[in-house]
Chains A and B, each alone.
Chain A
Amino acid sequence: MKTLRACLLRIAGLFSTARRERDLSNEIESHLQLHMDDNLRAGMPPELARRDALLKLGGVEVLKEACRDRRSVPFVENLLRDVRFALRQLQRNPGFTATAILMLALGMCASIAIFAFVDAALLKPLPYRDPARLVSAPEKTPTSPQSVLSYPDYLDWKRLNTVFSSLDAYQHSAFALSTASGAEKASGARVTDGFFRTLGVTPVIGRDFHPGEDLSAAPRTALLSYAA
């Protein structure tokens, strides 16, 4: 309790330093005055009286420093003084300041951008039902490490699959969207019927694709996503 009180007061001591400093100076002056009075009464010559009082006090500046250390938190006080000094230096040299700030800003932007990418691509789990069990299985040929799978091959893979609980295919593509002001490019993907069930996502409104809806004979259906 006592220590807590002292701590709080020392933190408060970081502020209104001018008043406390004045108070301390007055107190020391008053001390010297009282001591001198005593010395004079004892018959000491005036110049010796003050000298003796000062000597007995043991250095005014040392005393002030000791009281300052006790009054507030020296570490924080020094830190604040350093910060103020740094700001003054920066103010005196605006060109350097601007360059430094620019460099820091660029550095931070680059780091943030890289981190955001790494975070989204590697750190955050995919927003699907069971991301740990989700794998991408591309076709690998001698000429291309990741080639486009043909539809008959997809059907074969699906038929022969014994290791995955489900297997579906997708292909990024762009579609022409006719609007009032003409045709617009809309990016999208062609997917097989079970695609969203494999990912474990359900549409917010409407319905998922029915089995068999990916056949060429089936009527064309589409699911709209939020703009990615």
Chain B
Amino acid sequence: MPEKTDVWQGTLALMVLKTLDTLGPLHGYGIARRIEQTSGNLLSLNYGTLYPALLKLEQEGSISSEWGSSENNRKAKFYKLTRAGRKQLEQETQNWEQTTAILARFLSPSGGAA
């Protein structure tokens, strides 16, 4: 079994935003599970770290929250992406792609000299 990687600082917010973008309104537990599953169980996510991140995103206006009922009728707080959050997601996706593209060039066999 391969070693699980910790979630890198700052990438959790992006994962949350993307999850909400894909799945629509979702509760904290659902977001955590989705992140874990999407990573193919390669990420070890301490569920507890998700909530401060959600709080921060909500304070910054990227997401909003509302109490509702889950599919199996449990009360849960649902988070959804706001318009500002969608914009932030676009921006951060772009930044991330740029960063990974740059790194990929360095790490490619030709050593970036191409």
Q: Which residues of A contact B (CB under 8 A)?
A: 2-3, 5-6, 9-10, 23-24, 26-28, 30-31, 33-35, 37-38, 56-59, 62-63, 66-67, 69-71
Contact = CB atoms under 8 A, between A and B. Distances in A.
Contact of A30 (B60, B61, B75): B75
The A contact surface, by secondary structure, is helix
A35 B70 CA distance: 12
Nearest to A31: B29
Contact of A37 (B28, B72, B77): B72
Contact of B49 (A3, A28, A58): A58
Given A27-B28, A70-B52, A34 B59 contact: no
7 contacts: A5-B59, A5-B61, A28-B51, A30-B77, A58-B48, A59-B48, A69-B52
B76 A30 contact: yes
Contact of B55 (A56, A62, A67): A67
Given A58-B46, A70-B56, A26 B61 contact: no
Interface in B65-87: 67, 70, 72, 74-77, 84
B18 interface: no
B13 to A, nearest CB: 12
Contacts of B56: 6, 70
B51 A67 contact: yes
Most A-side CB within 10 Å, residue of B29, B52, B72, B74: B29
Given A27-B77, A58-B46, A63 B51 contact: yes
A9 B59 contact: yes
